[in-house]
Structure 1
């Protein structure tokens, strides 16, 4: 598969999964439409898959925009891969056992949490500029999940809606949520270190494709 084919397929999978999940959530909403929309974009899974879809789309179309320039900066693909890898890992370990979707919801669920994360890891392995990997990039990669955490905790304290059970302050208490959050930060950090280490190893052993 060529790089362009990867980009086209990645864009298609990403947009199909996000848009279909949006339709499913609207059709099965338990709150008003505006509140449901806000809740939809309160899920790290949705936000991250949206970022992935935009990344693939912009690189596929190669339009000369400022967004394309930003998405071509060193480490951007690794950062996106980090985020989607955590989406997949947390789902497989923590969330998969607590619900059993069926039909189209099951397909979308697997796309968002399994297929797209693995697809992106493969794309990262093949097409990241591994020679540009830098340990100094890691702190900036953590800003997105940290801002996200602050957002859902602040909004949750107002709306009493928490997108994931392990950050539900109402049920678990703030102390337990902060412990869970610390574990997640450690997971992000560990995977980030692993990605940079792998890039440096690949730079030594495997020519850039």
Structure 2
């Protein structure tokens, strides 16, 4: 266990550094673009932190920092249920980007590197961290339902944000183009994907659990 805990903290530290750097650079890029078009710095921050990708990776950065500071998995930010939720969220970020969003925007320079960090590197790194260091056998079949709270609240927020600003952040939620029935249908399908991945994670957690904990 001691060796496991010694490896846990450097791994979490690496993820925390990549996450904080990626989020900070994306914020700097977006705020710069918004202010260049006449918007305020506050407008820029509201814009960048309205994306599910940025919200998820910011939470991931906080959780990874907590895991760096403590190798124990008994606090709210470091317990297996929280780490399982973050794993589901960031994997969905990577999958949706790869399937639906990659190539829709023309990026260059630093923005390309940041985009790769947020959508490709961090989902892989955090999944590997969950596989290697998070204690198994502590998740329940109810957890995927609780994990839906954050993405469900985000759906509500994104629709309100779009209605107030006339700016819809993702093409599959563009109400003026798709209409509310189709946009809400897309949201429902994505929430089903969150739930399905959550169930898959709990199943894998049970498979990988030590025999003594496999009935938890």
Normalised to the residue count of structure 2, the TM-score between the two structures is: 0.88
Offset of 1:85 from its aligned partner?
A: 0.5
Select which of 24, 30, 41 maps to 1:25: 30
**Runs of 4+ displaced beyond 4 Å:** none
Q: Does 1:87 align with 2:93?
A: yes
Pairwise CA RMSD: 2.0
The aligned length equals 203
Mapped partners of 1:58, 1:199: distance in 2? 22
Select which of 171, 183, 208 maps to 1:177: 183
Offset of 1:33 from its aligned partner?
A: 2.2
Residues 136 and 206 in structure 2, CA contact (< 8 A), matched pair in contact too = yes
Mapped partners of 1:74, 1:56: distance in 2? 13
Offset of 1:159 from its aligned partner?
A: 1.4
Mapped partners of 1:63, 1:76: distance in 2? 15
Match of 1:62 in 2: 70
Offset of 1:69 from its aligned partner?
A: 2.6
Match of 1:6 in 2: 11
CA deviation string 1:3-26 (max 9, x = no partner): 121011011000100000111111
Residues 9 and 71 in structure 2, CA contact (< 8 A), matched pair in contact too = no
Select which of 42, 48, 72 maps to 2:50: 42
Change in Cα spacing, 1:63 to 1:123, as seen in structure 2 (3 Å) is closer
Mapped partners of 2:127, 2:170: distance in 1? 24
Match of 1:16 in 2: 21
Select which of 60, 78, 86 maps to 1:52: 60
Q: After the TM superposition, which residues 121-136 of structure 1 pair with which residues of structure 2 at under 5 Å, given as runs?
A: 121-136=127-142
Gaps of 5+ in 2: 1-5
CA deviation string 1:41-87 (max 9, x = no partner): 110000000011101111212399xxx83113341100000000000
Normalised to the residue count of structure 1, the TM-score between the two structures is: 0.91
Structure with bigger helix share is 1
SS for the counterpart of 1:71 is: coil
CA deviation string 1:93-123 (max 9, x = no partner): 0000312322110000000000000000000
Gaps of 5+ in 1: none
